[in-house]
Structure 1
Amino acid sequence: MKNIAIIGSGFSSLASACHLAKAGYNVTILEKNSTLGGRARKYEKEGFKFDMGPTWYWMPDVFEKFFKDFNKKPSDYYELERLSPAYQVYFGKEDSITIPGTLNEIYEVFEKEEPGSSKHLKSFLDSAKFNYEVAINDLVYKPGESISELINFTTLSKANQFFTSISSTVRKRIKNHKLQQILEFPVLFLGAKPSNTPSFYNFMNYADFGLGTWHPKGGMYEVVNGFVNLAKELGVGILTNQNVEKIVVENGVVKGVNSNSKFIQSDIVISGADYHHSETLLDKENRMYKEKYWEKKTFAPSALLFYVGFNKKIKNVEHHTLFFDTSFDVHAKDIYDTPKWPKEPLFYASFSSITDNSFAPISKEAATFLIPLAPGLTDIPEVREEYFKKIMNRLEKLTGQSLKDEVVFKESYCVNDFVKDYNSYKGNAYGLANTLFQTAFLRPKIRSNKVKNLYFTGQLTVPGPGVPPAIISGKIVSDLVIKNSK
């Protein structure tokens, strides 16, 4: 039985561990932190609870497909609730649009904002659904080893969609600026500007409107627990507080890792840690990518997050609320074009305790706030405090209530923390952006071409950022390991 060491315990690592244990390998996960889940950890304080990373549960079919591989289903491990409304978007004081939980209701919302737009939305979503099915069935489960994976009759017929942007497609027919922003927002999960994201990725709009927004009871950490429990049932060994210092290679073949100054023999090593960091664990001659390669890449944003306990329930917000009352385009430029701290940032808030009373004591509110940022910015406490004041002022103004004096506590998390906790390149939060030239076979390789039996998984390789893609990445790498071990 071959030994496999997996570095990290994020969704991609947990997924690959489950698949490989099922295939008969002896699998051990080595996690740097004291808790599991990578970026999807939880934070608890004074009776409040927060999902530290992902808060959106989209693409439920990917989770179902994962568990089905083990003759299980998500409900064996956690309980799901479809959110209705799905989310709310603020564009100004007393100017917000609430996205309902069903398609017919969404068409009504669009029609009310822009007469005739529902017809265009239906056409757009028909294309988005088709692209989603093509992506899920033909593309995203491929290992990204060659361009041939992308080429078939269906994708050739859609080739023009790889050379036009989401932004141009949306704006061609829908003229209402607020509706445009709602349709462009889901691609932010892919880590790039809508104007730089191929229109083929409109399948994210089908994930949004068609498949819906869900909430796992108890939060996203219950999903992590589900994956961890399945892994344990399959015999996966899990070690926490493991500082992997080196991936050990002899004569071009991986031999194991040094962790906490001890050698752990492994026939195969998979790193679900930050890809750039993973390569620094190798001697230079065994690295595939030089520093210049990473410097030229377009990274998905970092983030400034606040985990806040409020002493009262908050009015006029939904579980997921987006604050788009400032310029989307200007903020995007501050992330991607001329990286700097945004003057008037857009921000997102999750008020999970609106749906789930396990997140906060009775009559109180747990809130997570997120401001997308360029990776690599100078992160100091004074700047964090300045931005907390900015978003609190806007939250009060937009929702018409006094909240500053109701803050029980706040904790912040930013660039320096992503580096410290996850060895994240420049403190990025979401990995490598899915732009045209960073798609599929153009992403960092899932298998090392320098070291035999060394593999990578997660958001910097295929298929890309987000929880469902991370789960898929775990499946891809495990399939490749099994294929190459025969």
Structure 2
Amino acid sequence: MNKVSVIGSGFSGLAAAAFAAAGGNDVHIFEKNAQIGGRARAFVHNGFVFDMGPSWYWMPDVFEQFFQSFGKHTSDYYQLKKLDPGFQIIFGKDDVLEVPADVTQLYSVFEQIEKGSALKLRRFLDEAAFKYEVGMKKLVYKPAFSWLEYATWDVLKGVSRTHMFTSVQSYVRSFFKDPRLIALLEFPVLFLGAMPDSIPALYTLMNYSALVQGTYYPVGGMLKVIDGMRQLCEELGVNIHLETEVTGIHVQNGKASGIHTSRGLFDTDAVVGAADYHHVEQRLLPEHLRNYSEKYWSGKTFAPSCLIFYVGVKRKIKGLFHHNLYFDTDFALHAREIYREKRWPKDPLFYVCCPSKTDDSVAPEEMENLFILVPVATGLEDSESVRDEYFDRLIERMERYSGDSFKDDIIYKRSYSVNDFVKDYNAYGGNAYGLANTLSQTAVLKPSLRNKRVQNLFYAGQLTVPGPGVPPSLISGRLAAHQVNQYLLKNRDYETTL
């Protein structure tokens, strides 16, 4: 039985491990932290259960397809609840846009805001559904080694309808004029790593998931998804080594033959680097075995980092839903400060997740669990004084629009930002979401899924194909494991003939 080593236990690492184990391999995951999950870890404090990273559960079909690949269902491991409203966007004290779970109700909401927009939204979402069908069921499952992979009739026939060479900004604004509707349809790309005028309109496929499929919540939090994947991996025989930092990859004759760790050397027949791609290349390999130079990475466009606050409040708060977007300031200015000026935002948009509105298990009785997130640029100088200043300003804005003063009722606060992403995940520049999905960083133009100098080393995660986000990370792990399984099968067949 071949040994496969997976570095990192985030979504892509767990997915890669599961598929590699299903391929008949002896799989070992090496995780530097004391808990699996990567950015999707959680922690508990006095009855509060805080998800540390991802909080949006979109594209439910991708999760279901993952588990179905092993004859399972998501419901075998966790329960989903559809949120209604899915989320709200706060533009001002008396200007709030609630997004209903029923898309037919959403048509009415649009029509009330902008006359004639209901029919336009129907057409917009029909086109988004087509993009989703092409993007999430055809394009993202390509390993992207060559443009010829995309030269199928179905893909070529639909290229014009994906609006790959049109920006999200110009595409959305060709349908709608009201700035609130535009903000609703543009906001998902804020986490794809560039301003809406630089992201291909293909990615309005996210609107299909958000507005038609709907927003879901895994009861107990996103850690339940990670725990389900852990259970599946263990059922498949995967071994998980916690608090075991990988310090190097031992290469002989162009092949990785071992993993150097804080607990010694482990033999291996193939490696999946599901940790930060830059870290795996620059810290675990000698220069002559790397795909890319430091100059290459410094020239890439990264998705944002974050300033996050985990907050416990000893009473319920008025005016909050499960997901809340505070868009009461200038969207374009904040995006420019993240992607072009690379500075701390002057007056940022921000997001608040309050899972205790849906789930009593994540906070003590009659208390509130808050996850507050500000998208910020990567590579910023991060300090406690800066964090504290933003915290006070964010709480003040939340109080202003809810009409509910709760700052004195806060009984727990923890912050997390650029420095922490570097420390905990070896994240390049403290990035939180990976590489931007710009046209020049799409498909074959992303960092390669395989190492060109070490024939049994492959990569997974948000810095390679298909890109940032939880569902793409699941798919990335699958793609990497498929390459591992193909390599080992070919190698085994070759050795058998000798």
What is the correspondence of 1:202-213 to structure 2 with a 5 Å cutoff? 202-213=204-215
Q: 2:463 aligns with which of 451, 460, 463?
A: 460
> Does the 8 A contact of 1:18 with 1:230 survive in 2?
yes
Determine if the alignment matches structure 1 residue 414 to structure 2 residue 417.
yes
- TM-score scaled to structure 1, two decimals? 0.99
Describe how 1:332-343 pairs up with structure 2 within 5 A.
Answer: 332-343=335-346
2:368 is matched by which residue type in structure 1? E
Amino acid at match of 2:113: E
Q: Distance in 2 between matches of 1:152 and 1:452?
A: 28
Comparing 475-484 with 369-378, greater Cα deviation is found at: 475-484
Q: 1:54 and 2:54 equivalent?
A: yes
Letter matched to residue 285 of structure 1: H
User: Which AA in structure 2 matches 1:179?
Assistant: L
The answer to whether structure 1 residue 80 and structure 2 residue 83 are counterparts is no
Give, in angstroms, the shift of residue 157 of structure 1: 4.1
**Given the two structures, how large is their TM-score scaled by the length of structure 2?**
0.96
1:479 positional shift? 1.2
TM-superposition CA deviations, 1:151-205 (whole Å, max 9, x none) = 3334334445111101101011200000000000122232322111101111111
SS in 1 for 2:138: helix
Could you tell me whether the CA contact under 8 Å between 2:194 and 2:303 is conserved in 1? yes
Q: Does 1:437 align with 2:445?
A: no
Matched, 1:379 2:382: yes
Letter in 1 for 2:230: V
User: Which of residues 348, 351, 366 is equivalent to 2:351?
Assistant: 348
Confirm or deny: 8 A CA contact 2:40 2:223 kept in the other structure: yes
The residue number in structure 1 matching 2:235 is 233
Partner residue, 2:481: 478
Q: Give 2:147's aligned residue.
A: 147
One-letter amino acid of the structure 2 residue matched with residue 131 of structure 1: K
Instruction: Give yes or no for the alignment of 1:194 onto 2:196.
Output: yes
Match of 2:20 in 1: 20
Counterpart residue type for residue 308 of structure 2: L
Residue 261 (structure 1) shift: 5.2
Q: Deviations over 1:227-263 (max 9, x none)?
A: 0000000000000001111011112211121001511
Distance 1:359 1:422 in 2: 25
Q: CA deviation at 1:107?
A: 0.8
> Is the 1:245–1:261 contact (alpha carbons within 8 Å) kept by the matching residues of 2?
no
Partner of 1:196, secondary structure, is coil
Alignment of 1:39-118 (within 5 A): 39-118=39-118
Contact 2:7 2:13 in 1 (8 A): yes
Shift of 1:144: 1.1
Note the alpha carbon deviations across 1:2-29, whole angstroms, 9 max, x for none.
Answer: 1001000001110111111111000000
Aligned amino acid, residue 250 of structure 1 = Q
Superposed displacement of residue 461, structure 1:
0.3
The CA RMSD measured in Å over matched residues stands at: 1.0
Q: 1:295 and 2:298 equivalent?
A: yes
The amino acid across from 1:287 in the alignment is R
Instruction: Show CA shifts across 1:47-97 (max 9, x none).
Output: 111110000111000011111111100000000000000000000112110
Q: For residues 79-136 of structure 1, give each alpha carbon's deviation from its aligned partner in whole angstroms, at most 9, with x where no partner exists.
A: 0000000000000112110000111011111111111111111111111001101112
Shift of 1:412: 0.1
Tell me the residue number matched to 2:369.
366
Aligned-partner Cα distance in 1 for 2:150–2:124: 22
2: CA distance between counterparts of 1:389 and 1:150? Answer: 49
- Structure 2 residue aligned with 1:221: 223
Q: What is the percentage of aligned positions where both structures have the same residue? A: 50
Q: 2 CA distance for matches of 1:23 and 1:250?
A: 24
One-letter code aligned to 1:362: E
Per the alignment, residue 452 of structure 2 pairs with 449
Query: Paired residues, what number?
Result: 486
Determine the C-alpha separation between the residues in 1 that align with 2:127 and 2:154.
13
Check conservation: 2:272, 2:481, Cα contact below 8 A: no
Select 1:282's aligned residue among 282, 285, 289: 285
CA–CA separation in structure 1 for the residues paired with 2:175 and 2:25: 52
Q: Could you tell me which runs of 5 or more consecutive residues in structure 1 were left unpaired when the two chains were aligned.
A: none
More off after superposition, 22-31 vs 253-262: 253-262
Structure 1 residues 418-429: aligned runs within 5 Å: 418-429=421-432
Instruction: State the partner residue of 1:181.
Output: 183
- 1:397 corresponds, among 389, 396, 400, to 400
* Structure 1 CA distance for aligned equivalents of residues 91 and 195 of structure 2: 19
User: Aligned residue for 1:323?
Assistant: 326
Superposed displacement of residue 484, structure 1? 2.2
> Which runs of 5 or more structure 2 residues have no equivalent in the other structure?
490-498
For the residue of structure 2 that corresponds to 1:321, the secondary structure is: strand
For 1:312, what is the secondary structure of its paired residue?
coil
CA contact (8 A) 2:193 2:339 kept: no
Q: What does the per-residue CA deviation read over 1:254-298, in whole Å, with 9 as the maximum and x for residues that have no partner?
A: 112100151111010111000000002101100110001000100
Contact (CA 8 Å) 2:124, 2:175: kept in 1 or not?
no
Q: 1:123 corresponds to which letter in structure 2?
A: R
Q: What's the CA shift string for 1:385-427, capped at 9, x where partnerless?
A: 0000110111011111101111111000000000000000010
Between stretches 246-255 and 5-14, larger displacement belongs to 246-255
What residue identity is the alignment partner of 1:260?
S
Inter-partner Cα distance in structure 2 for 1:310 and 1:335: 30
Partners of 2:488 and 2:268 in 1: CA distance = 13
* CA contact 2:420–2:430 (8 Å) conserved in 1: yes
Tell me if structure 2 keeps the 8 A contact 1:94–1:399: no
Q: Which amino acid aligns with 1:269?
A: V
Equivalent position of 1:125 in the other structure: 125
- For 2:253, the equivalent position in structure 1 comes to 251
Distance in 2 of aligned mates of 1:95 and 1:53: 28
Q: Distance in 1 between matches of 2:38 and 2:187?
A: 25
| Contact 2:255–2:456 under 8 Å retained in 1 | yes
Supply the AA of the counterpart residue of 1:171.
Answer: R
4+ residue runs over 6 A deviation: none
Does structure 2 retain, via aligned residues, the 8 Å contact 1:91–1:323?
yes
Q: 2:2 touches 2:488 (CA, 8 Å); kept in 1?
A: no
